[in-house]
Structure 1
């Protein structure tokens, strides 16, 4: 009966992806497996017959992994390099914690319980929920099913334990944050019209110099509304539209006068405003200031919608394809501004085959060189090579006519496809070995090693953040990035509303993957 799945591997692959994705949606308390559900359904199906795993098309897992790590690197690269200097201490602490965890996994697992390094390496990848780490362990092992068994045991353990840690952190009332007072970025933006009661210079209004408050439309006394670019002196009776976080706008209203019952943006006879989709590749990687909207069209950007987040459009904000830029402009020039930014839905999912092909080729190229450390051979390989290259290219954003970054929707789509294909292949090829090893005394020993190591690892990361004076929200994000699971980030965001959660996640996510890959290759050699 089960031979049908072995004889029809492509059918089997997509059945696993579909069923695994459904399983990943099932909520176990606060936990959902997400894409990892595909791995567990693949393990279940692969365990039914020893011929199913070998029938999986060769090389397909590498292709899926390459798509995944490359798109992750493009997104994570800018955040990593941006946080490199201010968060260097945290990064060094995270590296130390990961190395200590690897030593504990190796000594406790191999020296005390006699567990082979291949299983331990997969387990280490599992408690770090790092899919590229699993690929590195498999590439370094003569028996690639063994790391997958360890990974499948460690992964759900990691998700549950990390959520418990995040929950405990969120419950702590007193949490000093001497070196992390906050970003000053608002969690949401509001727009209000204010009537000026007393003469003020715009630059003196609280929040303006700090980049926390913008004016989008200005109506002088007796005049018509106009775009507020180059705003200088405000006279009594003037009306101004303020844009910023709720607190910054409230302070601006207090400094200028009173909130007006009539909203200037409701009048669109002379000034228009709308969100415009940025699809012009020539503008990707430019800052808001470099758009020169004021000089070109007498217009100005006030907000940038990126994913689910609204960002205040200060001049230094870097733009990327698929951003939705809210522009205030003279009504007569709306068509020109729209054409300049692009606003073509068809281009949202377009991918430059040239830049993506060159980037992946370069990533595989730097993954080829190997270095010998004792009896262990180290390399970036097919997991870390494309990741490192994508981080660099994501930081560059563009080189001449080549735009390296992808539109957000295209990036997320390719990432999801790559991850699902890789996990399905790993599950199917490792299922029969998992059935043989996981539910035995050997499996219980491995589970115990991973449990001790995971608790130690997460506690060390929290201790590092606490000693370095990081805030409670950032510590939650740092732990999520350290473990490397977006489900943990989502849970942390459900407990606190603070942009430092996502910033902390981005700080450590890519770095942790790279360190884990190196540690995993060392553990395999035990």
Structure 2
């Protein structure tokens, strides 16, 4: 025990290791997850050893977590601030109003301290970020002694742990099992039907899967039917959707030009989309196996669209506006919007900020890149941008605004969340600066939250026992009620008033709760990823709104 108490770094990382091990334990369809497991283990270690970690460590790692969270959600958050997504925004508003009202009501009815009420809100809403924003806000309350601040901050962690457990089980079972029965809907069939009605969709692949039939192909043909036709005539006949990359005549490899005539027995390499290449082959002759020496390496690059003229145009129109596509044999093989992979069909509409994957000859790529936007730079983290973003967030968090007698401050957490959203969105508009690779951002986000939670649990361990004795029966009830009430209201409003399709609605309700286990259970029940379409919108909005409820609740109750 002395080793743990005297070496806080050991206490911190053993809490992480054991916590994530506990989080992997599966009970039926449920797992606690690494964050909840870490909090449980760190509370036990803190209560047993009285070990603690400097509060500055907790603040720094929480700032890293909340900024990365905002940075990753920023592009999608602002993209969803439109009339079409307004109905999903209403569901998030229901969640925020309900959890705040219930937390304030419970605090008044049972004379709860500000820490316990905040922990109930954070746990029942299954939003770990609220722990940080509420804990930080408590530390800034006037009139509290250092001992009281430590005690109330400990109550946040303990109440969160208990309410999270019951809230998690409730939201998973309610959305994936009970709601489909209440609506008398076969979720699997409803998801399939909705998917078939949606245009432009394509099946998603797992991280270790690749399409068996790639969109862009090269094939060689023996000239028979195309004898006497020029290269330019053939490409024009196919609408510019294929390019003749190389021609082998006898032992010589010829460089194609529009005026070059094909002759009987030439071997021709044609590149383009699979269906178009097959059609072109009928105009040329018989397909042959790959021919040694007849190959043309293709380069691939990602380009962020910044050209204003490209906004709102589909890929077919974009190719017509830029003859370099046809002349250079360049093709759009993928469209990335935020973290969503869009199909690269001819009717896929392109927006500024989208990332196009272009494949073709290197010379053609260079010309198009300059016209459409800029090459995406995402190979290493831009620490200038990252450091500036967190610094700006820290400054925003220091601003105090009074509503009557209630002082309101976002704190470092809320400030870094806002700056993360803004910096992430600004980066998405022109991705030539501010690189924060997705894997790096995910690692910093997860690590930041895990370390923050472990620090909180170690400090809060001694206060856990007394709080559980005093409010042991209330916390489970609060955790269940704060899930059922907003979810049920959202179900009624979303179905009866907004007419949202059932798969999207269930996904949106899981998203308004920021519950990854819930959407996982829903998609498993549906055997489809369609509910994810509703989840991503409300998840992005709630990830911004729910952490701000911590300072709001603390400000109201603290006054």
Q: TM-score band, normalised by the shorter chain?
A: 0.7 to 0.9
- Alpha-carbon offset, residue 152 of structure 1: 0.8
State the match for 2:142 in structure 1: none
Rounded Cα–Cα distance in structure 2 between residues aligned with 1:385 and 1:118: 21
Rounded Cα–Cα distance in structure 2 between residues aligned with 1:173 and 1:261: 49
State the match for 2:479 in structure 1: 450
Q: Does residue 117 of structure 1 match 2:147? A: no
State the match for 1:153 in structure 2: 162
- Alpha-carbon offset, residue 380 of structure 1: 1.7
- Alpha-carbon offset, residue 11 of structure 1: 1.2
Rounded Cα–Cα distance in structure 2 between residues aligned with 1:400 and 1:242: 28
Q: Does residue 433 of structure 1 match 2:430? A: no
State the match for 2:173 in structure 1: 164
- Alpha-carbon offset, residue 435 of structure 1: 2.7
Rounded Cα–Cα distance in structure 1 between residues aligned with 2:290 and 2:507: 37
Q: State whether residues 335 and 343 of structure 2, in contact with CA within 8 Å, keep that contact through their aligned partners in structure 1.
A: yes
Rounded Cα–Cα distance in structure 2 between residues aligned with 1:274 and 1:125: 49
Q: State whether residues 76 and 506 of structure 1, in contact with CA within 8 Å, keep that contact through their aligned partners in structure 2.
A: no
State the match for 1:137 in structure 2: 134
Rounded Cα–Cα distance in structure 1 between residues aligned with 2:391 and 2:483: 35
CA 186–268 in structure 1, closer or farther in 2 if over 3 Å, else same: farther
Q: Does residue 316 of structure 1 match 2:359? A: no
- Alpha-carbon offset, residue 456 of structure 1: 0.8
Q: State whether residues 100 and 121 of structure 2, in contact with CA within 8 Å, keep that contact through their aligned partners in structure 1.
A: yes
State the match for 1:423 in structure 2: 453
Rounded Cα–Cα distance in structure 2 between residues aligned with 1:396 and 1:458: 33
Give matches, 1:186-201, under 5 Å: 186-188=202-204, 190-191=213-214
- Aligned partner of 2:520 among 461, 477, 490: 490
Bigger mean CA offset, 503-512 vs 410-419: 503-512
State the match for 1:18 in structure 2: 17
State the match for 1:508 in structure 2: 538
Rounded Cα–Cα distance in structure 2 between residues aligned with 1:117 and 1:183: 50
Rounded Cα–Cα distance in structure 2 between residues aligned with 1:400 and 1:104: 42
User: Counterpart of 1:302 in 2: which secondary structure?
Assistant: strand
Deviations 1:96-140 (A, max 9, x none): 332123212321x22333332321211111122222211121122
- Alpha-carbon offset, residue 500 of structure 1: 4.6
- Alpha-carbon offset, residue 409 of structure 1: 1.4
Q: Does residue 7 of structure 1 match 2:17? A: no
User: Counterpart of 2:350 in 1: which secondary structure?
Assistant: coil
CA 271–425 in structure 1, closer or farther in 2 if over 3 Å, else same: same
State the match for 1:391 in structure 2: 421
CA 93–401 in structure 1, closer or farther in 2 if over 3 Å, else same: closer
Rounded Cα–Cα distance in structure 2 between residues aligned with 1:225 and 1:410: 46
Q: State whether residues 246 and 294 of structure 2, in contact with CA within 8 Å, keep that contact through their aligned partners in structure 1.
A: no
> TM-score if structure 1 supplies the norm length?
0.75
State the match for 2:30 in structure 1: 31
- Calculate the aligned-residue CA RMSD, in Å: 4.8
CA 24–103 in structure 1, closer or farther in 2 if over 3 Å, else same: same
- Alpha-carbon offset, residue 354 of structure 1: 0.8
Larger Rg: 2
State the match for 1:365 in structure 2: 395
Rounded Cα–Cα distance in structure 2 between residues aligned with 1:117 and 1:261: 78
Q: State whether residues 39 and 453 of structure 2, in contact with CA within 8 Å, keep that contact through their aligned partners in structure 1.
A: yes
Q: Does residue 92 of structure 1 match 2:90? A: yes
Q: State whether residues 75 and 338 of structure 2, in contact with CA within 8 Å, keep that contact through their aligned partners in structure 1.
A: no
User: Counterpart of 2:442 in 1: which secondary structure?
Assistant: helix
- Aligned partner of 1:67 among 64, 67, 83: 64
- Alpha-carbon offset, residue 9 of structure 1: 0.2
Deviations 1:151-204 (A, max 9, x none): 1111122221121123124562286999x9646321246546899x9xxx999x
Rounded Cα–Cα distance in structure 1 between residues aligned with 2:340 and 2:291: 24
Bigger mean CA offset, 80-89 vs 459-468: 459-468
Bigger mean CA offset, 446-455 vs 59-68: 446-455
State the match for 2:44 in structure 1: 44
- Aligned partner of 2:334 among 277, 297, 303: 303
- Alpha-carbon offset, residue 478 of structure 1: 1.4
CA 152–22 in structure 1, closer or farther in 2 if over 3 Å, else same: same
- Aligned partner of 2:76 among 48, 67, 79: 79
Q: State whether residues 105 and 450 of structure 1, in contact with CA within 8 Å, keep that contact through their aligned partners in structure 2.
A: no
Q: Does residue 269 of structure 1 match 2:294? A: yes
User: Counterpart of 1:397 in 2: which secondary structure?
Assistant: helix
- Alpha-carbon offset, residue 93 of structure 1: 3.4
> TM-score if structure 2 supplies the norm length?
0.71
CA 29–305 in structure 1, closer or farther in 2 if over 3 Å, else same: farther
Q: State whether residues 73 and 389 of structure 1, in contact with CA within 8 Å, keep that contact through their aligned partners in structure 2.
A: yes
Q: State whether residues 64 and 448 of structure 2, in contact with CA within 8 Å, keep that contact through their aligned partners in structure 1.
A: yes
Q: State whether residues 393 and 418 of structure 2, in contact with CA within 8 Å, keep that contact through their aligned partners in structure 1.
A: yes
